[in-house]
Amino acid sequence: MVFSALRRFLPLLVLAAGVFSLPARLAAELVWSPEGGWRIEGGVLSGLTGPDGKVALDLMNKARAAEERGSKGSALSSYKKVGKKYPNSVYAPEAFYREARLYLARKQYTKSFDAFQQLLSRYPNTPRFNEVIGEQYRIASALLDGARSYLWGVIPGFTNREKALEYFEILLVNAPYSDYAPLALMNIARGHQRMKNTEEAIDALDRMINTYPQSLLAPDAYMQLAKTHASLVDGPFYDQASTKDAITYFEDFMILFPNDASVANAAKGLNDMKTMLAESKMKMADFYFFKRSNYTAAKVFYNEAITAYPESAVAARAKQRLTEVEAAVQANAAGTPVKKKRFWLF
């Protein structure tokens, strides 16, 4: 009996499998005309609109008619009903798309982005995928640059750059291999830098160079990383971890992109950071030499100053100090008191 039932339903199963395995180009396409309204053209799925297809079609025609006469609010209401009540109909993807477009025209950026996101989340195979990703990128960019999302499409609200950063992150999840992904990361870094979130900016730039090393934006990301680390340097008396990071990225930039127009700027930044690192070693060495008479430690740090930047003026000073340290060591061994230069820094 079981085998008999299976034989009876086998043709239907084969038909269903064939339908769902068809390429996207065979799917139905919605076409609008002022005379006939929405109609389904082409594709073997053109007749599969579901039991509520007629109601959904009526709502779509009502929405588009309202849209054509400039009644955006009424059009939005009908499109939203299609997406909410008939999500499995052939009209739902178009309803979300039209809804997002109308919100965008009313400068309701957050609602527009969310409607586009509903389209991508529910219907990821939409032929409008690339177009929608582009629109989401433009919305996020506008918000980052200070665009105000309007309330009810009438009253401008507050700027919301944090929302822009959230949208860029969503875009990265939606299309991690698109041309917009590297741009999104660069904008995330720019936004965090604007809001003084330095660590978050560094994280975005780091993700950029590691995930998209072949991108045309990679040179700029390396340069921004170096400059951002350099901005964290407080001076020779403080921890030099950021100085070392800046040196690394300036050097990487010059090695990886030797023909870039910003090489001269990178060379200057590298010079400044190496000078800072060498100067910090000098301060430590001077402290041990002048304030603690610890000649061993002083020699170690003077030598590190020379190693940090051998061709610099700081290295020349360190070499001079080393001769003074040697003289002090010899005098101390001979029992002769040594008169050191007065050192007021500490």
What is the tens place of the pLDDT at every residue in 294-314? 999 999 999 999 999 999 999
Question: Would you say 149 and 162 are in contact if contact means Cβ atoms under 8 Å apart?
Answer: no
* pLDDT(3) > 90: no
At 340 the pLDDT is 54
**How far apart are alpha carbons 280 and 243 in whole angstroms?**
10
Q: Tell me the average pLDDT of the chain.
A: 88
At 335 the pLDDT is 72
**How far apart are alpha carbons 320 and 303 in whole angstroms?**
11
Each residue's pLDDT tens digit, 248-295: 999 999 999 999 999 999 999 999 999 999 999 999 999 999 999 999
User: Of all residues in the chain, what percent carry a pLDDT higher than 70?
Assistant: 86
**Closest C-alpha to 185, from 175, 174, 172, 196:** 172
pLDDT grade, residue 152 (50/70/90)?
confident
Residues ≥6 apart with Cβ < 8 Å to 217: 182, 183, 186, 208
Each residue's pLDDT tens digit, 214-244: 999 999 999 999 999 999 999 999 999 999 9
CA 262 and chain centroid, separation: 22
pLDDT grade, residue 54 (50/70/90)?
confident
At 84 the pLDDT is 94
